[in-house]
Structure 1
Amino acid sequence: MSEPHRAIGWKYDLPAIHAPSLVKPGMADLDPPPNHVDEIAIEIPRPPLKLRGLSLITGTITLIATTSITAAAIYYNFFLATRADLEFIALFLGANIMAILLLAPYIRMDIEQPRDEPIRFNRQRRKVYFYQYKTDLFHPFSIKRWGIKPVVYDWDDLTAEAYRLYAPMGYGGLMEKVMISICKPGTNEVIDRVLFADSIETGEQYWAIVRLFMQQGPEALPDFVHSPWDWNEGVHSNPFDQRAPKVQWPAEMDLESRTAPPEEHR
């Protein structure tokens, strides 16, 4: 069987789901800790934006500026100039439309992305539930391609992967993340890949915690130093976070992800 395909920037795989997991130094001091832990499931936080509002502010200012300049250019050509320069007008209109198409997706993400995109690992069902906000940069105004679209996968089909790559300077240079790839059952064909953590160190700690929980249960976890953060009702220092959409699981998935299967299915 061939090896699973890895994306650009892949460095190594984290320990497999069945590899023994132990309590590591610093694990108890993880901040933020899991959102919730009980006998059935553990929920890991996944805040999507570190600085919400930046794209909204800068993008809006840029669009106002480009639109104003375009409007002024059109007004000058049609009402003040001796002869309208259609090529000049087309150039400004094209630049304005391009700015809208480039900036609109990031402004929309700033407004619509939820406060958290948690992942629930159900030990009894051996299922993993991802609360996800989907985006499509090439269709910034689409309704179907954007929005909350949770997915569920089997625990046995998951692999955690560490990625490290250098991005353009505007993105801060070195970028690290841990992704979870999902393979088609019984094969190495990757059918999906989702973000697990935005740093390798944090991702390794969460992955060790999740594996420990799935293998041995909540009793094996350390006593976390920090209290879980209430992402929906907590007091956020950033005013844009305070106005972000709250996490709201679909009712059926919410119930399933927090409960054990009926006795006949165990």
Structure 2
Amino acid sequence: MFSRQPDTTVNTPTLLPPCKGWKADLAAPGAITRSTPENAEYPLYRNGIYVEVPRHSFSVRGFGVLLILLMLPTCFLEAQMIYRHLLSPSIIPLTIDMLSIVVMSFTVMIAYRLDFSAPRNEPIRFNRARQKVYAYNFKPCGWNPWCSWPVEIEVYEWSQVRAELWSRGSGTNHRCGTMLSIVKPGTNEVIDRFPLNYETLCEDPWLYIHTYMEKGPDALPPFDTPRDPNELVWYSPLRRWAPKVKWPEDIDRESTTAP
């Protein structure tokens, strides 16, 4: 989707602390940019008041269901073993089998929640008229698959937003993206962070947003193909059963209108 690589000649992070795997700081609000974003189809929606951009924690779902199917026979065998140990008690094997069942149950629940609890999209709205950012942030709890995994709406001033490119790992474990960092007004002290995108080490997504907020929609390529954040895609059929994006009414009204 994007191809422009960042300028990494400045190799010292400015934020305190920098994000994990920091590679580069991108243009801050108020900074002058001379490049033009290349991808006109990036946003979900754009007008003169706000732009809404997509974000997916899981672009393809189903790995959790696959893992569950693969683990079911093992769970069945472990249950049989526990039953046999109960008939003729043997403490050590019984303890091992019961711990195995607990671990597998935990893994199955995590896999299920990741496939069916994460919303179809996690959009972010940048309101130029209000100079505010509205993030639809999914909050999974990886250590407790039985508790609530909520969506929290975060609202910040545009002037507080910074963007950092990050990259971690290598080979099949390589991960990268753009992190949005929120700073305490007048400082470089970070008070919150959430991702803008995943799996692209490119400045164009942020450049598109920065250009819109600083220069307005006329400085961007024409946009005439709005998309539904709840759209279904052929390569991820399980998205059909994921929660739809639904902004709270007051936030939906505020984030899409001028003061």
TM-score normalised by the chain length of structure 1? 0.85
TM-aligned CA distance change 1:44 to 1:108, over 3 Å: same
Question: How big is the shift at 1:47?
Answer: 2.0
Tell me if 1:227 matches 2:225: yes
Which residue is equivalent to 1:264? none
Q: Residue 159 of structure 1: SS of its match in structure 2?
A: strand
What residue is the counterpart of 1:68 in the other structure? 76
CA distance in 1, matches of 2:232, 2:141: 29
Structure 1 contact 13–161 (Cα < 8 Å) conserved: yes
CA distance in 2, matches of 1:164, 1:35: 26
Report deviation, 1:27: 2.9
1:172-207 Cα distance to aligned partner (Å, 9 max, x none): 2321111001112222221111011113445x2121
Shift in alpha-carbon separation, 1:103–1:208, aligned structure 2, 3 A: same
Match of 2:39 in 1: 27
Q: How does 1:1-266 map to 2 (within 5 A)?
A: 3-22=15-34, 24=36, 26-28=38-40, 30=41, 33-58=42-67, 60-79=68-87, 83-143=88-148, 146-166=149-169, 172-201=172-201, 204-224=203-223, 227-234=225-232, 236-261=234-259
Preserved CA contact (<8 Å) 2:182 2:192: yes
Q: Tell me which amino acid in the other structure corresponds to 1:187.
A: T
> Residue type matched to 2:173 in 1?
G
Identity within the alignment, %: 34
Q: CA RMSD in A?
A: 2.1
Q: How far has the Cα of 1:26 moved from its partner? A: 2.9
1:212-265 deviations in Å (ceiling 9; x for gaps): 1111211111025x834323244544320222211100111100000111xxxx
**Structure 1 residue 7: deviation in Å?**
2.8
- Paired residue total: 246
1:200–1:234 CA distance, 2 compared to 1 (3 A): closer
Q: Is the contact between residue 35 and residue 45 of structure 1 (CA under 8 Å) also seen in structure 2?
A: yes
SS where residue 150 of structure 1 aligns? Answer: strand
C-alpha distance after superposition, 1:68-108 (max 9, x if no partner): 122110222234xxx32121011011012122224422320
State the alpha-carbon separation in 2 of the partners of residues 219 and 25 from structure 1.
12
TM-score (norm 2): 0.87
* Residue 141 (structure 1) shift: 1.0
How far off is 1:156 after superposition? Answer: 0.5
Q: Is the 8 A contact 2:176 2:201 kept in 1?
A: no
CA drift at 1:133: 1.0
1:22 CA drift (Å): 4.1
Specify the SS of the correspondent of 2:142. coil
CA distance in 1, matches of 2:90, 2:235: 50
Structure 2: distance between partners of 1:161 and 1:235: 29
- Say if 2:60 and 2:235, in contact at 8 Å, map to a contact too: no
- Separation of aligned partners in 2, 1:236 and 1:249: 25
Q: Partners in 1 of 2:215 and 2:126 — Cα distance?
A: 13
**Secondary structure at the counterpart of residue 247 of structure 2:** coil
Where does the alignment leave 5 or more consecutive residues of structure 2 unmatched? 1-13
* Residue ranges of structure 1 left out of the alignment (5+ in a row): 262-266
